[in-house]
Amino acid sequence: MTEEQLEDQRMEIENRLRNLFWTVSGDYAAEFQPDVETYRQSPELALYLAIRQGALTKYLDVEQLTVYAMNKCAQGAEESALMGLIQLCADVAVYPLIRAERSGIGQIRRDAFSLLLEDAPSTPLEKLQQCVIRHFLGLPVSADAGIQTLAEQVVQLSGQTDTGPLIMAIDTIHDAVLAPSARQNGSLVDVLPITAKEPAESRRHQALTDEQVDRVMEEYRSKLKTELLNMVIRPSIRQPAPAPSGGEADDLSAPDPALREKVHAYIERQFGKSSLSRLEQDRINRRLCTGLHQRCFLYFTDGVLTNPAIKNTQYLRTRMQETKNEMYFEMKKNAVRRSVGVLSAMLKQAQTLCMDEDTVRAEYGQIRPADLWKVGRSGDNKLFNCRKKRESSSFVVDILLDSSSSETQRQPQIAVQAYLISQAFSKAGIPHRVSSFCSYWEYTVVHRFRQYEDPESSNRNILQFRAFGENRDGLAIRTIVDELKGRHEEKKILIILSDGRPNALGLKRPGMNPPIPYVGELAVRDTALEIRKARNQGISVLGIFIGDEEDLAAERKIFGKEFVYTRKIDSFAHIVGTYLRKQIEQD
């Protein structure tokens, strides 16, 4: 189903899925957000999701599961993995009950589960899920003994409708497969008292008012409940391989202007209104969208929360992610404040040292007794010490964040670290800009959280960071460099946070020319070329790599020696501060 067909049938699909949920749950007042995107990719999966969530609502205490998840996340558990495990265990628990009522559900579940087996599992949770699915389908299991043992524990939850024992089992499995040390993410003693008071009390120690605590906790509880009733582990979107000749099979006729406007309006609804006029955007597109990016478009925005076209589902999802980022910030507030102080002081000290006086040999000044023997014996007249002030260089910094879907599990950490860096730069008086980028359809979206001369208060916008879409790194870097190179400062620095995997397949839609697929070695070479061009123009570029070790080779090709690999996103700010201090001192 194309995007246009999906939009034409969206209301009909939503009604069908919502009616399935209501029919199974028997609660016509319950809220359920149909997953239309999943329906476009695989209708069987979307149908089963609606049925399963209806059964979950009917047989389990969703509120109790939600508060358990909130307590567990407050203790440090990774939210998406925890919610995936809850979904898996709840599915096993309610399936035999709903199957007894509606016999046709067995085949729907079988079709949906077959789709989830198409991808090779990489994480422990994915391996556990595939073990459970293969058990249901009667297929052989090849996982290691530990995963198989945990899968057997999940299977034994079949028919369990008492939510308390179900939570105890989920917690035990979670700590075994996702956090081997139960103390790391809260023991049963910490999380089994099913009350929302504990995480709320911990927020009160972060200098929040009671009203702020209540608002944040209610928004987060509501978000978790929504995810619990709507989340599914989707299979990868499979795209046909690109034509080896560079795409001559594509229809390269002029795009339909009416469809172009429709697509532009859709992007506006997804990401917020453009911060540039159409004339300015078109002028930039003609200059920058060339070569591999010739059928692409750039879109500049201050974000869907700052300047929404309409308050739709994307607006609500971004608002919920901002709430989660803010909660993480409040948890780390004291540490962030200390780090800002240390980093800004370090930068100020480096700037001060660069402005100190140097002592040089000269023909005037304070006499050097050790050199008096040269009088009448040498032509060297520099017999004095003279103090001269160093010429200080001005600095400007651009921070570019990869906000593609691969960063989904690190969103709060990336947002807070980028905010920390921005705060330190503001206090040190260093002009800087913070942007993120992702690609969606033909568009590469550049979200500008703050501009170079914005006040310190604008740094808070960075907590709107949300991962979404693909990533066409080369075009994003070219765009940032185009404006950075025109700055008047003598020293220009670009810092890029990425996973080392540029990837944007694009989408073939009637009436529009798809962009050239941007994957593999082609994308790596293009990104590396843009980095070299930036350096040749006098811009210092540092790459901070937070991806998988298997992508290290690609990262080296892209950034050369000027990149840092870190397993901990929390060290992002320290890496940036150290690098910038060295740049200042070397200069």
> Are 430 and 471 in the same domain?
yes
> Are 373 and 428 in the same domain?
no
DSSP state of 379: S
3-class DSSP state for residue 456?
Answer: helix
> Is 237 inside a domain boundary?
no
3-class DSSP state for residue 375?
Answer: coil
Q: What are phi and psi of 398, to 5 degrees?
A: -115, 130
The whole-angstrom separation of Cα 404 and Cα 470 is: 5
> Are 214 and 136 in the same domain?
yes
Residue-level pLDDT at 273? 94
> Are 188 and 86 in the same domain?
yes
What is the token pair recorded at 135? 């058990």
- Number of other residues whose CB lies within 10 A of the CB of residue 253: 8
> Are 219 and 103 in the same domain?
yes
497 strand-pairing partners: 401, 544
- Number of other residues whose CB lies within 10 A of the CB of residue 243: 12
> Is 244 inside a domain boundary?
no
What is the token pair recorded at 391? 């010429």
> Are 303 and 401 in the same domain?
yes
Edge to edge, the sheet with strand 491-498 lists 297-301, 443-450, 432-440, 395-402, 491-498, 539-545, 563-565
> Are 160 and 96 in the same domain?
yes
> Are 522 and 535 in the same domain?
yes
3-class DSSP state for residue 320?
Answer: helix
> Are 289 and 422 in the same domain?
yes
Residue with tokens 């308390």, as numbered in its chain: 164
> Is 346 inside a domain boundary?
no
What is the token pair recorded at 20? 């399935």
DSSP state of 373: G
Look at the chain and report how many structural domains it folds into: 3
> Are 285 and 160 in the same domain?
no
Residue-level pLDDT at 185? 43
Looking up residue 275, the CATH number of its domain turns out to be 3.40.50.410
- The range of the structural domain enclosing residue 431 comes to 257-338+394-586
> Are 295 and 319 in the same domain?
yes
> Is 343 inside a domain boundary?
no
> Are 169 and 263 in the same domain?
no
Q: What are phi and psi of 364, to 5 degrees?
A: -150, 165
Sheet strands (E) in 273-341? 297-301
> Is 249 inside a domain boundary?
no
> Is 352 inside a domain boundary?
no
> Is 247 inside a domain boundary?
no
One digit per residue, the tens of pLDDT, for the chain of length 587 reads 666 666 677 778 888 888 888 888 887 777 677 777 777 777 778 888 888 888 888 888 888 888 888 777 766 677 777 888 888 888 899 888 888 888 788 888 888 888 777 666 777 888 888 888 888 888 887 778 888 888 889 889 988 888 888 888 888 888 887 655 434 444 444 444 444 444 444 443 334 445 544 555 566 566 566 666 654 444 443 444 444 444 444 445 556 677 778 888 889 999 999 999 888 999 999 999 998 898 899 999 999 999 998 887 788 888 888 988 998 898 888 888 888 888 888 888 776 765 555 667 877 778 888 887 777 777 787 878 877 655 555 788 999 999 988 888 888 988 998 898 899 889 988 899 999 999 988 899 999 999 999 999 999 999 999 998 888 999 999 999 999 998 988 889 998 988 778 888 766 565 567 788 888 888 899 999 999 999 999 998 988 876 667 767 787 888 887 777 766 666 666 777 777 777 766 65
Residue-level pLDDT at 302? 95
> Is 428 inside a domain boundary?
yes
Buried b (16+ CB within 10 A) or exposed e, 369-393: eeeeeeeeeeeeeebeeeeeeeeee
Residue-level pLDDT at 432? 93
